Amino acid sequence: MIIEYPVRLQVYLAKCGCGSRRFCEDLIAQGRVMVNNRTVREMGVKVNEDDVVQVDTETVEIIDKSYYIALNKPKGFVCTNYDPNETKYARDLIEIRDRDLLFNVGRLDKDSSGLLLLTNDGEFANKVTHPSFEIEKEYLVHIDRQIDIEDLNKALRGIYIDTDRPYRLKRYEFVPRRKDYIKVTLTEGKNREVRKIFSFLGYEVKSLMRIRIGCILLGTMQPGEYRNLTKREIDGLLAGKTTLDARRKFGAALRKEKEEKARARAEKKRETFR
């Protein structure tokens, strides 16, 4: 990994695998970071290659290898790396040597399951989670009864629940032959946003599974299963893509089917006039 020094402290920490850049800024503000045995609380401080940087008195260094992992998080596991009240951590499902360097990109609450990304690349995490990049997150939601379309349209327009910024769905899609399942897509991903939206509208969420982040699909991964992202997936995610070849091939198949039906109708019409 090529680094041009001097580099901002929060960027250095992110490249050390301490967390996303925003999380590293919080570490600094909390007085948990020292540079050359001096506690640093202000932003904008830059460090050089020979500076000694510590977080919670532990020396941190830039990591040579970067990890980008997709996990199907089972229900009951938490995304934080430490909580004295919890024993089941999503990161512990990843069986690699450098597991302790990983942190999750965004979160899934304990009662939710599905696609979770983990990395040790703080810059990558910052780009994927920052609201300005508007990376789509798609969820499969099981609710207690059939939902009213007008309620969904309210969520599309935006509803105010507990902050001065609205909670808003980007789109929704009904699941064929199921009245109590719906797919919803959003971009911000506020804390428990999907659950809060449906609760505010008067519905009980029985289960919640994230099935897509940008162009990364949960696919056929089983609960607890994980895999490395491909370079193409990483590049696509950073470019803001929501689909890769799989979706395009599906679209091509639909177009081919429509063309064949159109030809069949035209042939039938010609036979009628013979």
CA dihedral 41, 188, 113, 80 (to 10 degrees): 0
Q: How far apart are CA 190 and CA 2, in angstroms?
A: 34
Cβ contacts of 270 within 8 Å, gap of 6 or more: none
Would you call 100 a catalytic residue per the annotation? no
CB of 145 within 8 A of CB of 139? no
Exactly one of 51, 109, 151, 180 is catalytic; which is it?
Answer: 109
**Which helix (H) or strand (E) is 160 found in, with range?**
none
CB of 99 within 8 A of CB of 170? no
CB of 183 within 8 A of CB of 141? yes
Q: Which residues of 15-54 are buried (b: 16+ CB within 10 A; e: fewer)?
A: bbbbbbbebbbebbeeebbbbeeeebeeeebebeeeeebe
Q: How far apart are CA 181 and CA 206, in angstroms?
A: 10
The dihedral built from the CA positions of residue 89, 95, 97 and 103, taken in this order, carries a sign that is negative
The pairing of beta strand 205-213 with beta strand 181-186: unpaired
Q: How far apart are CA 118 and CA 33, in angstroms?
A: 23
CB of 47 within 8 A of CB of 35? yes
**Residues noted as catalytic:** 109
